[in-house]
Amino acid sequence: MKTLRKFWKNNRSLIIFIALMSVFRSAVADWYYVPTGSMQPTIAVGDRIFTNKMAYDLRVPFTHISLLQLGDPQAGDIIVFASKKADNQLIKRVIGVPGDTVSLKGNELIINGKKLNYRDLQSTVAAGDKIEYLHGQQHTIRVAKHSLLSAQFDDITIAQNYYLVLGDNRDNSADSRVIGLIPRSEVMGKAAGVILSLDANNHYLPRKGRFFKPLI
């Protein structure tokens, strides 16, 4: 007991700091490391994403128990969620919310019977970037030049407390086309911006242009 009391006395400030930081990261805000290119060109491999865990819920720390719903994910939001089907934390963009009917034809979305507008940007031999206009907002997506099976699906009507999510890298993303609709209870928070980004192809040096870059 004397040893424990001495340890507490000598390290009290550090222990309290670690405990408070753990609670903060569990229930208030955290960062998410992006290991894949499923959200390119919006998010790069190696980005550390600031996640607002109070964007939608006030939760009991270290659990998924919601004490109070503060809001709901909206179409266009980039969310981090703990997928049971994928057995992993994922980051994707919300495309459809409860009540929406969504389909995909030739990599172009149709929501509630209305096809979204698109504008071409730069392209390569393999893929092209486009601006996608989603409910008054715009973001960049990447699509393969040659048609893939994942480039289309028939109408899906989204049930209450579920969301349809897609990666911005449309032909290289394991999203709702693979793991199905996302339950509201799996949503951990809203991705707000890039804290920092390390380039694995360049000796893990920081990408200066991505520091504190907001996500849209």
Give 12-40 as a DSSP string.
HHHHHHHHHHHHHHHHTEEEEE--SSTTT
Active site residue 103: no
Question: Given 38, 83, 150, 197, which residue is catalytic?
Answer: 38
- Residue 111 has a CB neighbour count (10 Å cut-off) of 19
Tokens of 182: 């996302």
User: Which residues face 15 on adjacent strands?
Assistant: none
Q: Calculate the CA 128 to chain-centre distance.
A: 22
Question: Given 53, 92, 130, 213, which residue is catalytic?
Answer: 92
User: Which residues face 30 on adjacent strands?
Assistant: 51
Exposed (0-12), middle (13-18) or buried (19+): which is 73, by Cβ within 10 Å?
Answer: buried
Helix (H, G, I), strand (E, B) or coil at 115: strand
- Residue 43 has a CB neighbour count (10 Å cut-off) of 26
Dihedral class, residue 180 (left if φ above 0, else alpha if ψ from -120 to 50, else beta):
left
Residue tagged 């949503």 (tokens): 187
Tokens of 151: 């480039």
Tokens of 154: 């028939």
Residue tagged 């930081």 (tokens): 21
Active site residue 92: yes
What are the residue numbers of the active site?
A: 38, 92
